[in-house]
Structure 1
Amino acid sequence: MEKYWRLKDHNPGSVFSNKRVDRKHIRWKAPAPDWFKLNFDGACRGNLRVSGYGAIIINVEGDMILGTYDSLGWATNNEADIHVLIAGLSLCVKHGLSKIVIEGDSLIAINGLKKLQFQNRRLCKWNPCFTLLLNSIGVYEVMHTYREGNRVVDFLANLGVDSLNAEVIFDKASAPEIICVKVKSDLLRSNNVK
């Protein structure tokens, strides 16, 4: 039996549509030339439990530029997504990256970024931080993907949940072998990497 998801649009500003989505064909997509893609994901073992996050920045050729994962202790899924966005966007700013496609599978995070306004009372305190980070990046685009298009960062987020260390930041040269294998595997599944 094929898996389809019908998305209903109750809010005209949301990323939902009324079309059917065949999730088995969803793949990671490369950004446009001269752009970078920041994929992010938060993970939580039960809501308000042990959580972590993972983010990765990849260029148009599919080369990993930077990545990070970390444990957050006790937090909600949404808080984990907010923390990973801050960590990923901070990496972009610190390394002078502009023209960023920000992509994740959290609708709360994606819709909050698109409006630059989180409504949730636990998340709205981060609104000024996101405004500052996004203004520092300059040119960016915010996109939603499904879990199937976000496999590498899902793996990183779960590494973060299991990690007892401080935040791990890596580049292509210092990335653990298992992460390089996961990135290659994801890119091989994607037929649009140049």
Structure 2
Amino acid sequence: MSLRLNIRIGKAIRWKASPRDWTKLNFDGASKGNPGESGIGAIIRDEQGNILQGLFGGIGVATNNEVEICALEAGLCLCIRALENVIESYEIGHVYKEDNQVANYLGNLGVGGNDDLVYFCQASASEDIKGQCRKDCQRYQR
């Protein structure tokens, strides 16, 4: 009898800061069912992890794909509003949920909420949101 083991050693997945002089948008949608009650969240942070702008809110009943598209749209609108005159270039990439915990948290905050979006900045962010950002930065090491 022989036993074959496949062992994969994965690398830790965590939030990564943007390069110097860049800002980073993370966004996520959450749906409790497919379709189900859904919410979106988006946050823009600088290379130190400081909150520049963010939002969360409910969007009603949506599928998992619809809610992700709504979160992307809201995040891009947030970028345009917050960084309108300073966007010179951009990159788009996929990250796992573990690398996107604050946006995931915000999306879940929005589930079941009304259809109004809640906007915030560093000064007006709740202690829970600031705490999520601090956890991200603590897990991240340059």
Do they superpose with TM above 0.5?
yes
Shift in alpha-carbon separation, 1:33–1:181, aligned structure 2, 3 A: same
Rg (Cα) greater in structure: 2
**CA–CA distance in 2 between the matches of 1:142 and 1:82?**
14
Q: Which residue of 2 aligns with 1:172?
A: 122
Give the corresponding residue for 2:41.
Answer: 54
Aligned length: 135
CA contact (8 A) 2:60 2:115 kept: no
Residue 25 (structure 2) aligns with: 38
User: Cα deviations across residues 67-112 of structure 1 (Å, max 9, x unaligned)?
Assistant: 100101010111111111111111111122578xxxxxxxxxxxxx
Q: Distance in 1 between matches of 2:122 and 2:138?
A: 17
Q: CA deviation at 1:164?
A: 2.9
Q: Does 1:182 align with 2:106?
A: no
Which of 65, 85, 107 matches 1:78? 65
Cα-to-partner distance string for 1:11-61 (whole Å, 9 max, x where unaligned): xxxxxxxxx6726x1111111111111001000001011001111101011
Residue 67 (structure 1) aligns with = 54
- For the aligned residues, what is the CA RMSD? 1.8
Question: How far, CA to CA, are the matches of 1:169 and 1:81 in structure 2?
Answer: 18
Could you state the TM-score of these two structures normalised by the residue count of structure 2? 0.88
Q: After the TM superposition, which segments of 4 or more aligned residues of structure 1 sit over 3 Å from their partners?
A: none
Secondary structure of the structure 2 residue equivalent to 1:179: helix
Name the structure 2 match of 1:111.
none
1:158 corresponds to: 108
1:115-164 CA distance string (max 9 Å, x none)? xxxxxxxxxxxxxxxxxxxxxx5511011111110111111100000323
Letter in 2 for 1:173: A
Runs of at least 5 residues in structure 2 that lack an aligned partner in the other structure:
1-7
- Scaled by the length of structure 1, the TM-score of the pair is 0.65
Distance 2:9 2:39 in 1: 28
Higher percent of residues as helix: 1
SS in 1 for 2:111: helix
Residue segments in structure 1 that go unaligned for 5+ positions in a row: 1-19, 100-136
Note if 1:140 corresponds to 2:90: yes
CA distance in 2, matches of 1:97, 1:149: 26
Choose 71-80 or 88-97, whichever is displaced more. Answer: 88-97
- Sequence identity (%): 44
Q: How far has the Cα of 1:173 moved from its partner?
A: 0.3
Distance 1:21 1:160, change over 3 A: farther
SS at 2:137 equivalent: helix
